[in-house]
Chain A
Amino acid sequence: MINSLKQMARTPVRTILFLILMFFAALLLTLGTCIWLKGNSTMAQYEDRFMTIGTVRQIPDSFQQTLQWNAETKDYDVRKNAQYRSYYTPEDMLFPGAEYIAGPEQRAFYTSYGPEYLMYNVSVNPSALSMGSLIAEFSPMEDCTPDETVKIKITKVIGGDQRLEGAVDNFCDHMNPNPKMLYQDKTYAAILHTYLYIHGSMYEELMKSKNEVYIGLEYIPGSLETGLCLPDGSLPEDTFRDGQEIFEVTDGFYETDAGRRLLNLAQSEGIWRQCQPVTGTNKTCLLMPFYNGQAYICEGRDISEEEYASGSKVCLAPKTFMENNGLSLGDQVKVQLLYTDTRVNAGRRFWLDGSIGFYSGLVDTAGEPLQVFETSDYEVVGIYDVTVSGEDSIFDPGADELIVPMQSVEARDGKNLLACGPMTDATSSFQIPNGGIDEFLKGWAEYGTDQLELTFYDMGYSQLKAGIDNMKKISLCLLVAGLVLTLLLLFFFSHLFITKQAQRTAIERSLGMRAAQCRWSMLSGFALLIFVGALIGSVAGTRFSGRVSVVNAGQSYYETTYTEGLTNTENEIAVEEAADTQIPAVFSTVLIMAAGVGIAWGKMNRSLKREPMQLLSERQEEFQV
């Protein structure tokens, strides 16, 4: 080896040029690998921002028309109700070849009773009268037939906002074509719901002298029937269904079935202002507000895949709820599940403006008040914020809505089911791989059903897919080109170094050096040159690409004024930079050493296979090689 090194040192220009060549080969390979790795990493991150979600809506089998009396128009309104022979379940969407990343799922939302919490609807309007619904005793201001808006005095509030006691308000037995007369000297009890605007002669008289339109509402009586439904959408038997709604209060009235029923219903009146929705899901992005960016995690983290799978007692909580209740990340929220709704999403009941679409009939078929069926403490792992959306309002999240793993709710079979329905776009969704819509639809066409309508959202991935594939292809080609070029350079190097020194090998053989010794004599110097050049080149490549990454990571290109949600532009791959840059250097050095020595070994073997006599006899032809 020493002789080999000695001879290399006595041709310094050539040796240095070889070293430079190896340096550049290693630099090229290292940079190429770094570019490929970083590019791939960035592109993976880019591609991960896209998600393909499908929503599901069951198409009604038919529509049933029902007539409902309208006291204002003095006519029947036609109401169309969708009819379903049966409800499809997410299991019906599992077909051979279906590739789901998440779901399909049909989500229920639960109502959690939280009297210790300040709910959004109260915070928005703390002193607002909860006029929407109450159970009260009342008397008409005069004898009247409530076939149009009449005045009543609320003499006693049995359930609801007590401040309404003594108030004079509007009333109409709006949906009854033949309402019974009400007498001023009698007291009546009923569930009162605000319904439509006031109307009728009394109203016209009242408005004659006023300039502004009084957007007033009238109370209408509500049914005492249970609000529960069965999972198939049918209603359980209840003696109060389609029955009397206005009851005269006489002695002992409250010992009667109706009286007891009213008292039991009264226990739940006004409860809505102390409730918040809880939605169970298997993946946060299956909820459209999170998918389309209307809701975004502003603090903490998302619920992990493992937590979803294991049903951990963790949740995402809205920012307003956390602020209103002085809670922070990591705190526990007590959840007392009271009712279940599988028909709509939370946003259709707990509106973002603070209004609530309440349920009625919060008793079971026996007339007993519905009770909390599950109590748990959930740790807040992430806080999310919501912006109002003018579009896609059916997907709006609910005010104060907690997001929990579906598996964390034990009573998933639908306890205290107050509303149920088929799969809808807002309650049912699934995730498939990006670019997989066509494939999925092919399978769906074969195995699926026309009764389920699918809508896909892919954030524009389908239009971008060709470009993304092209980027990946070119990136790979660039790496391969770099590899091939490096190999060619090694081949060139070994050709000049070894083939050109065939004469030296012949002389050494003629002096009695064995083939192995000749090989070592030649390759040792060669390997050393490669190693030194490769090492320096790899290190230089690593340093350079590392410096570029650091500069690159701090860049932000777009103004975030007006931006809704977080942009997550902190360079998520910055943390991995340090580890990443070592790999290309090691890879390059090892590859170049292995390839270089391998190529040289092959060339040496070729030389050594030929007898020295032949080598020496071809000495005049060397320059032709």
Chain B
Amino acid sequence: MSKVIEAEKVGYVYQSKYQKTKALNEVSCSFEQGRVYAITGKSGSGKSTFLSLLAGLDVPTEGNLYIDGKDIREIDRDSYRMNQASVIYQAFHLFPLLTVLENVMFPMQLQHVSKKEAKERAQEFLGKVGLPEGLYGKMPNMISGGEQQRVAIARAMASGGQILLADEPTGNLDSQNEMVIVDLLCKLAHEENYAVIVVTHNEKVAEAADVVYGMMDGVLEVVRE
């Protein structure tokens, strides 16, 4: 299995208005396609921060982060997020004023895919995540949390990338929906060869993962491999 992401002593400092916070401290690890990785830890341990670095939303302040062997500082991170990596969040972060179908079409439209093809593929992705067709025309605030998260996953698949980053994807869901999402994520990894990296403090989600890393005070350790 090829390593798609490799972190070498990655560190990150948050600069807020009043203070500096070292969120990550010499984190070293790697991620491969076809596997589900869980990063666990308490709130404030730095997991979401690390995930955002993996998503290319920012660059490490210390250490190096390699995407397909290239330093993240040297690649086009926008292009990376558009074509390689996708992120799903606890709060879903769907476009509130676009329908379910339009949300999934959005990344393909960014890639200049024709509307017709984008629509067809969006429907395909929504089908894969098990969303009934009747919900395609609904606004996000009209569907349940689990359904919203499935839409988010479908949108992530629509970008065509092979890396899926999930920040507490089941945080807002009930246990039934939680399992549905976990199954979907595992399916993406094992059947679609995604590298799925999930940040969670949910044990059930961690149990389903192939590799579990534990984050504490910004330091990453392997819990189970």
A residues with a Cβ closer than 8 A to B are: 3, 6-7, 10-11, 503-504, 506-507, 509-515, 517, 611-613, 616, 619
A–B Cβ pairs within 8 angstroms, 15 of them? A3-B95, A11-B97, A506-B93, A509-B57, A509-B78, A510-B57, A511-B107, A512-B78, A512-B81, A512-B82, A515-B78, A611-B57, A613-B49, A613-B52, A616-B89
- Complex Cα gap A513–B76 (Å): 11
What chain A residues lie within 8 Å of B80 (beta carbons)?
512
Contacts A11-B97, A616-B89 given; does A511 touch B82 at CB 8 Å: yes
Partner of B81, one of A11, A511, A619: A511
- Complex Cα gap A517–B110 (Å): 9
Quick one: closest B residue to A515, CB to CB? B78
Contacts A512-B79, A512-B107, A512-B110 given; does A507 touch B57 at CB 8 Å: no
Nearest-neighbour CB distance to chain B for A66, whole angstroms, equals 100
- In the complex, the answer to whether A510 meets B87 with C-beta atoms within 8 Å is yes
- In the complex, the answer to whether A513 meets B95 with C-beta atoms within 8 Å is no
What chain B residues lie within 8 Å of A613 (beta carbons)?
49, 52, 57-58
- Complex Cα gap A619–B91 (Å): 10
Q: A510-B93, A613-B57 are in contact. List 18 more A-B contacts (CB 8 A).
A: A3-B95, A6-B97, A7-B95, A10-B97, A507-B93, A507-B94, A509-B81, A510-B55, A510-B81, A512-B80, A512-B82, A512-B83, A512-B110, A515-B78, A517-B110, A611-B57, A612-B58, A613-B58
- Complex Cα gap A506–B93 (Å): 9
Quick one: closest B residue to A620, CB to CB? B91
- In the complex, the answer to whether B95 meets A507 with C-beta atoms within 8 Å is yes
B residues with a Cβ closer than 8 A to A are: 49, 52, 55, 57-58, 78-83, 86-87, 89, 91, 93-95, 97-98, 102, 106-107, 109-110, 139, 155, 159
Quick one: closest B residue to A506, CB to CB? B93
Contacts A513-B78, A616-B89 given; does A504 touch B95 at CB 8 Å: yes
- Complex Cα gap A10–B155 (Å): 21
What chain A residues lie within 8 Å of B52 (beta carbons)?
613, 616
- In the complex, the answer to whether B159 meets A511 with C-beta atoms within 8 Å is yes
Quick one: closest A residue to B51, CB to CB? A613
- In the complex, the answer to whether B98 meets A511 with C-beta atoms within 8 Å is no
What chain B residues lie within 8 Å of A512 (beta carbons)?
78-83, 107, 110, 159
List the 4 closest pairs (A to B, CB-CB), nearest first.
A512-B82, A512-B81, A7-B97, A613-B52
- In the complex, the answer to whether A511 meets B110 with C-beta atoms within 8 Å is yes
What chain B residues lie within 8 Å of A503 (beta carbons)?
93
Nearest-neighbour CB distance to chain A for B10, whole angstroms, equals 14
* Most chain A Cβ neighbours within 10 Å, of B52, B81, B97: B97
Nearest-neighbour CB distance to chain A for B128, whole angstroms, equals 19
What chain A residues lie within 8 Å of B107 (beta carbons)?
511-512
Contacts A511-B107, A511-B110, A511-B159 given; does A611 touch B58 at CB 8 Å: yes
- Complex Cα gap A10–B95 (Å): 12
What chain A residues lie within 8 Å of B81 (beta carbons)?
509-512
Quick one: closest B residue to A8, CB to CB? B97
- Complex Cα gap A504–B97 (Å): 10
- Complex Cα gap A10–B141 (Å): 13
- Complex Cα gap A512–B158 (Å): 12
- Complex Cα gap A504–B81 (Å): 16
- In the complex, the answer to whether A3 meets B98 with C-beta atoms within 8 Å is yes
- Complex Cα gap A451–B89 (Å): 96
Nearest-neighbour CB distance to chain A for B105, whole angstroms, equals 9
